């Protein structure tokens, strides 16, 4: 390893152990935020120091102490009131209501003969003697080929 790498690792060790001044700590923290390579280097040093660092005491006890130290706010002092849905509008928003209304309208249109009225003139629109498009195209293509062969 180069001398500068070892110096940087030593600085990170001091940072992890809390042996640096607050100004130097703030400078290193800013570097951690701005540069991903610095963050990776810091994490490598932290992993290498895993055995050197003291074990955390009971973590549950630590969590309890932190939670007790937090000040109570108005929202945490009073339990939140459950939000009561407006019963008048709740049934309107339910999907079953929408399906029921759609089915009712469909049945009403079927029984009134609405769909029958749509097909009254449908037969007139279709020509009875019309040939399929494929047959029409084939006839045009063969007639074109016949005229082309006749001109030779």
pTM exceeds 0.85, yes or no? no
Tell me the Ramachandran region of residue 144: left when phi exceeds 0, alpha when psi lies from -120 to 50, beta otherwise: alpha
pLDDT for 139 beyond 70? yes
Q: What are the CA-CA distances from residue 121 to residues 87, 112, 114, 128 (Å)?
A: 48, 18, 13, 14
- The DSSP 8-state label assigned to residue 56 in this structure reads P
- The residue extents of the domains of the chain are 3-53, 89-118
* Residue indicated by tokens 């939000």: 83
Question: 54-88, pLDDT tens digit by residue?
Answer: 777 777 787 888 888 888 775 555 666 766 666 66
């Amino acid at each position: 390893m180069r001398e500068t790498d070892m110096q940087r690792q030593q600085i990170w060790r001091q940072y992890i152990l809390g042996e640096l001044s607050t100004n130097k700590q703030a400078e290193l923290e800013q570097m951690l935020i701005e540069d991903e390579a610095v963050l990776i280097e810091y994490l490598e040093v932290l992993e290498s120091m895993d055995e050197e660092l003291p074990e955390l005491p009971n973590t549950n006890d630590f969590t309890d102490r932190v939670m007790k130290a937090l000040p109570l706010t108005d929202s945490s002092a009073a339990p939140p009131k459950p939000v009561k849905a407006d019963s008048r509008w709740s049934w309107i928003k339910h999907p079953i209501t929408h399906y029921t209304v759609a089915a009712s309208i469909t049945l009403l249109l079927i029984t009134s003969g609405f769909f029958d009225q749509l097909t009254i003139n449908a037969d007139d629109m279709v020509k009875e003697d019309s040939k399929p498009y494929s047959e029409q195209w084939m006839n045009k293509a063969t007639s074109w080929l016949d005229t082309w062969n006749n001109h030779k």
